[in-house]
Structure 1
Amino acid sequence: MTPTPRAAGTARQACLSRLSASAGRVRPARLALAACALLASGAASAAEPYLYTHLARWPEFSSGDNKVSMYGTVDLGANWTKTDGAPAAKTLQSGGDYTSKLGIYGREDLGGGLKAEFNLEASLKADTGAVTATQFWDRAAWVGLKSRDWGTLRLGNQLGATLPLFVDVFGVVTTNSVSYWLASAIVQKSAYTSGISSIGLNSDLGNGASQVTTRVPRAISYTSPRVAGFDAKLMYAPGANTTAFNKVYNKAVVTTFVNGPWFAAASYNQVFGNNTVTGAAVRTDVTGLAGIYDAGDLVLSAAVNQNEVKIADGGKATVYSLGLIVPRGRHVWRVSAVYRDTSGVRNQLTKQEVDSAALGLMAGYDYELSKSVGLYARAGLIRNFAASTVVFQNAQLPLQAGSTNAQLGIETQTAALGMYVHF
């Protein structure tokens, strides 16, 4: 369906307001937000960007006010994961393409260009029906005011001020995305990591190293109106990690620029973890740059993220990502390549610096039965080099002979077939 110029303009305005308020992926709208960004320039073009077609799926982008909408996704697939030296794991997996979830979104027009809005969203395990977190509304629980002239203010559990997650052509799902596993670097315990916890975000960079979480609880955010293609989002999250030693969890800024098929973003975050031995707060600086070009029949994306732990002997990781989407009617092909390199990773026994790098590849195919129903196939691998120990699905690495340390230089593969339904 091709929107009229007026409808397209309304959709763009709603999208850009939403994108400015999130500067990232609202996880029922992984692709819709990309479309918003890429259509921000104004008048309808002859060839609409491919991602724009996903706008109609989500209630928060539809026209009209004074409404409350329920939405969600059920996504299930058969998954196979194999790590060198360990038996293969076969399971029915929830969230192979989209996170299975249930959400409520509402807004009210207060007049004068001011709207009140709220969002509640919970992730679900579609294979068992269980909730996936200790708090029910783990994906969103916020209230806010959106002004046409003054920008958007939100309070509560919301998306962080990071690079938009749709920069990853697989949406950074916590299952079939090499960007998720390598950018978060959920590394296994070995002599080259902190040596404290068996699994941790970027823990090879130092004890207390952390990562920007997709959603930040107890957060305050402000997003400016978009001017000449630019907007900016500021976030401050006091005590969001609920630990007594640290009064601040996340301080961040992200700015985005849109012009026709072009989209760009830059972000800077300070996130705080804790040293598991001393209990001291540890700061990790996370910076990112990203760009997308969407010509309608071809989508290209690129990004670079850097994580640097601000402690003595702290490490630094740089993650380079490339992505490609080729849509042809109901058929959509996706490919991504991600490389993680590090400096400052140390053997915790000798304190000597060691090499640690990993390469990830993921290929995917979608067949869209309708705007809300689709089938998908995924296949990928992660190849670790030197001291790196990143694997898919938190699969436990085999141990070195006669040691409690994980084997190094391991390759892990994954494949999945599944189906999703949006409502």
Structure 2
Amino acid sequence: MKLYRLQGLAAAALLACAGGTAVAQDTNVQLFGLVDVGVGRLQEPGSAAVYRVENGRMTTSHWGLRGTEELGGGLQAVFSLESFFRADTGATGRFDGDSFFARNAYVGLAGTQWGSVRLGRNTTPLFVSTISFNAFGDSYGFSPTVRHVFLPNAVTAPVTGDSAWSDSVLYSTPTWGGFRANAIVAAGEQNGGRNWSASAVYGAGPLGATLVFQDVKKGATVPDSRTWQAGLSWDFNVAKVFAQHTRAESRGVTPEAEYRLTDVTAAIPVGGGGSRVLAGYGLLDRSTGRDRRTFSFGYDHQFSKRTDLYAMAMQDKDEAAATRQTARSWAVGVRHRF
């Protein structure tokens, strides 16, 4: 009797799957992610060097689910749920206490004629601009640009509000002749305050350009900041060169400060398989203290479209640090995309 019941349940499950396939035939769901682990000497200005295995020195490890459903008339439903993790320990998030889907968590609508609207937790236009217009991409470990704009330093963090905003609405226009615009607003929830940002991006042929403004007013535990950034890139074929200038104002803290950040980076192709030599220099000029200067250099060897081996070195001198120590770091690591 139990066998017949099990067979009946199995048949019902198969029918349900078959029916679900028929209903969801215009739906596409993708599992994706990236794992980055390296080993080397890591040091921050004013701190002692440590030798260790480290997660995400070139790209923060992450995984996610994203999908689309065709609704007809060129309209799509879109969603994405993306989580950071630390591959060296297996822990979730970028740090203890990080939200599970801290990278992105949104649902929205997209159309070929009017663009897209995404509701939830969205990556900010400033972060996209910062990582798109420097040769090291989203490397918190070795990109002078990312380290200067988003990492706390000996005085304070120039930009506050994280790389993605919760309780947000993000609108992106279609691309017209290489031009696209984005705007995001984060509601005044949780920590009280409202954030907003807008960007314009151009890319056609060898030229790329971006201009973005961001205003953060998120409440008592997150200092206010106001930031604008301009970026340019030009592909000379023998090298792709990037330049960025960022101006950030830190508000609601003592003392209030202004930061000017200038970064120049380059990616030089080696061979025909996507391998590159990377080099970059960044200067952080503070209104309240001494400068911070960062130089990075390395080689990224592309085994395939999904797997690469990198070897990077960095000198990071923050003259506002208590000891004014020059930090020197290096790492060798592997990235795999899936």
Task: Normalising by structure 1, report the TM-score.
Answer: 0.68
1:58 alignment partner in structure 2: none
Amino acid at match of 1:410: Q
Amino acid at match of 2:214: N
Write the deviation string for residues 70-98 of structure 1: whole angstroms up to 9, x where unpaired.
01111111021246775420110111222
1:172–1:179 Cα contact (<8 Å) kept = no
1:80 alignment partner in structure 2: 41
Q: Does 1:247 align with 2:162?
A: no
Q: What is the CA-CA distance between 1:269 and the residue it aligns to?
A: 0.5
1:66 alignment partner in structure 2: 27
1:26 alignment partner in structure 2: none
2:278 alignment partner in structure 1: 334
Aligned to 1:179, what secondary structure does the other structure show? helix
Q: What is the CA-CA distance between 1:180 and the residue it aligns to?
A: 2.1
Aligned to 2:132, what secondary structure does the other structure show? helix
1:365 alignment partner in structure 2: 299
Aligned to 1:266, what secondary structure does the other structure show? strand
Which residues of 2 match residues 229-378 of structure 1 at below 5 A?
Answer: 229-239=178-188, 242-243=190-191, 246-248=192-194, 250-274=195-219, 283-310=224-251, 314-328=256-270, 329-330=272-273, 331-343=275-287, 345=288, 355-378=289-312
Aligned to 1:124, what secondary structure does the other structure show? strand
2:188–2:218 Cα contact (<8 Å) kept = no
1:160 alignment partner in structure 2: 124
Q: What is the CA-CA distance between 1:221 and the residue it aligns to?
A: 1.1
Q: Relative to 1, partners in 2 of residues 1:297 and 1:178: Cα closer, same or farther, differing over 3 Å?
A: same
Aligned to 1:186, what secondary structure does the other structure show? coil
Aligned to 1:102, what secondary structure does the other structure show? strand
Report which of the two structures shows the higher radius of gyration computed on alpha carbons.
2
Which of residues 183, 200, 216 is equivalent to 2:149? 183
Q: What is the CA-CA distance between 1:126 and the residue it aligns to?
A: 0.6
2:332 alignment partner in structure 1: 417
Which of residues 115, 122, 132 is equivalent to 2:83? 122
Pairwise CA RMSD of aligned residues?
2.2
1:171 alignment partner in structure 2: 137
Aligned to 1:220, what secondary structure does the other structure show? strand
Which of residues 80, 98, 106 is equivalent to 1:134? 98
Q: Relative to 1, partners in 2 of residues 1:356 and 1:117: Cα closer, same or farther, differing over 3 Å?
A: same
In the alignment, the residues of structure 1 paired with residue 209 and residue 45 of structure 2 have an alpha-carbon distance, to the nearest angstrom, of 38
Q: Which runs of 5+ in 1 are unaligned?
A: 1-63, 194-199, 203-209, 346-354, 390-405
2:108–2:116 Cα contact (<8 Å) kept = yes
Aligned to 1:128, what secondary structure does the other structure show? coil
Task: Normalising by structure 2, report the TM-score.
Answer: 0.84
Aligned residues: 306
Identity over aligned residues, as a percent? 25
Of Structure 1 and Structure 2, the greater strand share is in 2
Write the deviation string for residues 259-308 of structure 1: whole angstroms up to 9, x where unpaired.
212111100010125556xxxx8531100000111244421100001111
Q: Relative to 1, partners in 2 of residues 1:183 and 1:164: Cα closer, same or farther, differing over 3 Å?
A: closer
Aligned to 1:201, what secondary structure does the other structure show? coil
In the alignment, the residues of structure 2 paired with residue 297 and residue 217 of structure 1 have an alpha-carbon distance, to the nearest angstrom, of 41
2:22 alignment partner in structure 1: none
In the alignment, the residues of structure 1 paired with residue 48 and residue 157 of structure 2 have an alpha-carbon distance, to the nearest angstrom, of 25
Write the deviation string for residues 99-121 of structure 1: whole angstroms up to 9, x where unpaired.
21111110011111111111111
Q: Does 1:227 align with 2:176?
A: yes
2:232–2:244 Cα contact (<8 Å) kept = yes
Q: Relative to 1, partners in 2 of residues 1:225 and 1:93: Cα closer, same or farther, differing over 3 Å?
A: same
Q: Relative to 1, partners in 2 of residues 1:86 and 1:226: Cα closer, same or farther, differing over 3 Å?
A: closer
Aligned to 2:226, what secondary structure does the other structure show? strand
1:93 alignment partner in structure 2: 54
1:10 alignment partner in structure 2: none
1:211–1:286 Cα contact (<8 Å) kept = no
Q: Relative to 1, partners in 2 of residues 1:422 and 1:65: Cα closer, same or farther, differing over 3 Å?
A: farther
Write the deviation string for residues 225-248 of structure 1: whole angstroms up to 9, x where unpaired.
2234322111100135x22xx231
Q: What is the CA-CA distance between 1:212 and the residue it aligns to?
A: 4.5
Q: What is the CA-CA distance between 1:185 and the residue it aligns to?
A: 4.9
1:212–1:269 Cα contact (<8 Å) kept = no
